[in-house]
Structure 1
């Protein structure tokens, strides 16, 4: 049995993983979907990026989890990657699901044309507002799936997107799987391509869009299970 700590991307909470969690339980694993501070049922809790890192570390330590696979989707790859460094030998593997990865000293908004996000945050009292249905077009989602994402979305604390990541060691030293969703972009971003040169990193691909927990939950659960079975121990 593997303990999967599942963390969804921007605007989403633990419920984004409902279908994936059901598949993992059926396979005999223990999924632990986590809502980060300031989102979903934790709206109103002040949060910066390091708050989200602590959320993940605290969950692992509170439950005294071992052989943990940390799973981060989209934005949450940044706090998940930092948390993976901080839980030490509790970590079995970290999985990035079409995710951003932390770069020391850089934020989620670094390195891509994100001025429009900063403007939205400034205009919405420090929060990145939920997106409309057009944001999810062309990502392999049905209308019902898009409606479910929107229904489960909440404003995202802007500070978590603008604060820099803090890494104590190169991310390539951690055992990791990167899942690339090909409808979003066929190639991993350059920082991920560089990390994939590490012998501790592996690449998996899914022929779907950026929200595979909604569009392909069974396939995603299978890849997570296969990743967990990869026995690579961090140094």
Structure 2
């Protein structure tokens, strides 16, 4: 039995993991999916990037979890990578699902073309609103799945994207799996490509779009279990 802690990306709360969590629990694992501050049922709570890091660490410590496989999707790879470092011996493995990764002293918006996000933050009072339905086309999602993401998603607090990450040691020293969703249409970011050269990092490709917890929950759950066994 493994303790999985699943953290969703921008705009999403714990609800995004419902199908994946059900698959993992059916296989006998314990699953926790904390919603980050400022999102979903925690909308309105002020949050910066370090708030999200602490949200994750607090969840693991509050529950007394050990042998943790910590999973971060998209944006949440940045706070998850920092939280993984702080969990120490509680961590078994960290899994990044088509995500960004933290770099010490750099924000989420550093390292890739993010002018459109900065413009959205400026135009919407410091929050990043959910994308329109057209942005999810070509990502292996049904119309119903897109509708759910758009209607249940909540604006993402901008400070979480502009505050710098804090790391005390190289991220490549952590035992990690990176899941690249190949239908996303983008190559891994340069920071990810560099980390994948580490002997402690594995790359797994998944034939779907950027939101595999919706498009391929069973396959994603299988990869998460295989990652845990390979730790």
SS of the equivalent of 2:77 reads: helix
Q: What CA deviation, in whole Å up to 9, does each residue of 1:188-234 have, x standing for no partner?
A: 22211111111110010100000000000000000000001113xxx
SS at match of 2:110: coil
Show the counterpart of 2:18.
18
Counting only pairs closer than 5 Å after superposition, residues 1-235 of structure 1 correspond to structure 2 as: 1-185=1-185, 187-231=187-231
Decide whether the 8 Å contact of 2:181 with 2:209 is kept in 1: yes
Runs of 4+ in 1 over 2 A off after TM superposition: none
Q: Distance in 1 between matches of 2:186 and 2:12?
A: 24
Whole-Å Cα distance in 2 between the matches of residues 190 and 112 of structure 1? 9
Provide closer, same or farther for how the CA distance between residues 2 and 188 of structure 1 changes in structure 2, counting only shifts above 3 A.
Answer: same
Change in 2 beyond 3 A, CA 1:186/1:116: closer
Is residue 16–residue 152 contact of structure 1 (8 Å, CA) maintained in 2? no
Indicate the larger mover: 187-196 or 5-14.
187-196
User: TM-score scaled by structure 2?
Assistant: 0.98
| 1:70-128 deviation digits (Å, cap 9, x = unpaired) | 00000000000000000100000000000000011111111222122112112212110
Greater shift, 123-132 or 170-179, is seen at: 123-132
What is the distance in 2 between the residues matched to 1:87 and 1:5?
12
* 1:185 CA displacement: 3.0
Deviation string 1:128-162 (CA, Å, 9 cap, x unpaired) is 01111011011111111111111220000000011
Give distance in 1, aligned partners of 2:197 and 2:96.
15
Tell me the CA shift for residue 186 of structure 1: 5.5
The gaps in structure 2 that reach 5 residues or longer are: none
Q: CA separation in 2, counterparts of 1:121 and 1:11?
A: 13
SS in structure 1 at match of 2:184: coil
C-alpha distance in structure 2 between counterparts of 1:112 and 1:197, whole Å: 20
TM-score with structure 1 length normalisation? 0.96
Q: State the number of aligned residues.
A: 231
Contact 2:11–2:153, Cα closer than 8 Å, also in 1:
yes
Q: Secondary structure at the match of 2:183?
A: coil
